[in-house]
Amino acid sequence: MEANRIQRKFKDKGGQFRDKTLQVKVEEVVNHLVDEKGCERKNFKSVSRGLNVTHSPFSIDLLHDYVHNRFVTPQPQSLIEAWNDAQPFFEQVWA
């Protein structure tokens, strides 16, 4: 985001700068890849949709739990499927 001058913060109603949510950041990166880099939105559909599906490995809450809750672990097949869906997104982000 920094390299492409996509703002990571927003100004709230009280005038304070706050971090955008991870979901908003991912959505803005997808929009940037489509609008500025000429990528096809359909390549990122699984990532975008998964942000809002509670049982998806891309769900922000579930990602948070994977990292911060030792009692929540992803199923191996779910991770493989999620990577297959997310690979185009990460290839463009890391390019």
pLDDT tens digits for range 11-56: 999 999 999 988 899 999 999 999 999 999 999 998 888 888 888 8
Q: Where are the domains of the chain?
A: 21-94
What pLDDT is stored for residue 34 in this prediction? 95
CB 50 within 8 A of CB 56: yes
d(CA 86, CA 30): 12
CB 57 within 8 A of CB 74: yes
What pLDDT is stored for residue 16 in this prediction? 93
pLDDT band at residue 57 under the 50/70/90 scheme: confident
What pLDDT is stored for residue 41 in this prediction? 93
What pLDDT is stored for residue 20 in this prediction? 93
